[in-house]
């Protein structure tokens, strides 16, 4: 009884994303294809920027620069940055200026 993992599947989904790239894969800014979207959480709007392929210290520095430039709070982690409020337009401009591709 229970799952059979002999076919190569693992119960641990933290090994990387579905494209076979590990979370430690670092890409140049122009090779990124970032997605910006908003979510509502407890009645408040959060801007989510996904698909980063940066190491944690680089993502932390970028998150800090974005929050400082936009004058908002937020967090980062798991290849994404979350900003308080609807900052899609302004964050997209800043990211493009830094060389990232925003789709």
Domain ranges of the chain: 38-102
In this structure, what token pair is assigned to residue 78?
A: 């798991």
Confidence of residue 10 (pLDDT cuts 50, 70, 90): low
Architecture of domain 38-102: 2-Layer Sandwich (3.30)
In this structure, what token pair is assigned to residue 93?
A: 């401009």
Question: What is the value of pTM for the model shown?
Answer: 0.73
Query: Using CA atoms, how far apart are residues 85 and 90, in angstroms rounded to an integer?
Result: 11
User: pLDDT tens across 43-84, in order?
Assistant: 999 999 999 999 999 999 999 999 999 999 999 988 999 999
């Amino acid at each position: 009884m229970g799952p059979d993992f002999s076919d190569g599947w693992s119960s641990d989904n933290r090994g990387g994303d579905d494209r076979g790239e590990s979370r430690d894969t670092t890409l140049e800014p122009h090779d990124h294809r970032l997605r910006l979207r908003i979510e509502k959480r407890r009645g408040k709007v959060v801007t989510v920027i996904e698909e980063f392929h940066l190491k944690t210290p680089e993502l932390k520095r970028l998150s800090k620069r974005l929050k400082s430039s936009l004058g908002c709070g937020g967090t980062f982690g798991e290849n994404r940055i979350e900003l308080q409020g609807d900052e899609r337009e302004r964050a997209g401009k800043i990211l493009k200026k830094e060389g990232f591709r925003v789709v």
